[in-house]
Chains A and B, each alone.
Chain A
Amino acid sequence: AQSVTQPDIHITVSEGASLELRCNYSYGATPYLFWYVQSPGQGLQLLLKYFSGDTLVQGIKGFEAEFKRSQSSFNLRKPSVHWSDAAEYFCAVGAKEYGNKLVFGAGTILRVKS
């Protein structure tokens, strides 16, 4: 069965520091990979997605993510965090072999300290 692991429940970084949020997945085939962000009291917003091609993908708000097939990972990065980036981040994975289902990780809460 497909599964998505986000090892870090909480991460705290200083404003201006770099950020990396980890995501590992368990699939037998080529996955469709997403990162969503949820600001407090809001719905989810897509940051970026990977389907194929260049393994480094750029998203909105200065985020990027790198797909590493050998490590089954899709980590999210940002070179310089802003206080407005404080939110919960979800990695999600789908695969055609598993139908039209999207599996989310448990989420990582990002806190930004000034």
Chain B
Amino acid sequence: EAQVTQNPRYLITVTGKKLTVTCSQNMNHEYMSWYRQDPGLGLRQIYYSMNVEVTDKGDVPEGYKVSRKEKRNFPLILESPSPNQTSLYFCASSLSPAGVFNEQFFGPGTRLTVL
């Protein structure tokens, strides 16, 4: 089944404890992206990648890191999480490198709570 998977789905952690949220797609998509969703703010783009080893900042990249060593994986890293990073996170992928102009397929989301 074609899909975007994220792990974990739920995570509660404490301030400063490094964490990684994994994202994997099995559709051979070029473009991958991370968003965070907060009430009243919709989705905001954190980072995106148009291809392996190519990443760029979205609108809210502060406090996050990403890497794209393989086409299928695009992990989101929080080196020192803070409470303001408590949010619902979505990974998405798209076939074309200009992914924002094509349909994006979204993962199920990761709900992160930072205490």
Contact = CB atoms under 8 A, between A and B. Distances in A.
Interface stretch (A12-20, A37-45, A73-81): A37-45
Contact of A42 (B50, B101, B108): B108
Nearest to B41: A106
B42 A90 contact: yes
A43 B100 contact: no
Interface residues of A, number: 24
Interface residues of B, number: 27
A101 B43 CA distance: 12
B99 to A, nearest CB: 7
Given A32-B100, A94-B101, A101-B59, A43 B109 contact: yes
Contacts of A42: 108-109
Contacts of A51: 101
B1 to A, nearest CB: 14
Given A42-B108, A44-B106, A100 B50 contact: yes
A103 B59 contact: yes
Contacts of A9: 40
Interface of B: 4, 31, 33, 35, 40-45, 48, 50, 56, 58-59, 90, 92, 98-101, 103-104, 106-109
24 contacts: A9-B40, A32-B100, A43-B4, A43-B92, A43-B106, A44-B90, A44-B92, A44-B104, A45-B106, A46-B104, A49-B103, A90-B43, A94-B100, A100-B48, A100-B50, A100-B100, A101-B48, A101-B59, A101-B100, A102-B33, A102-B100, A104-B42, A106-B41, A107-B42
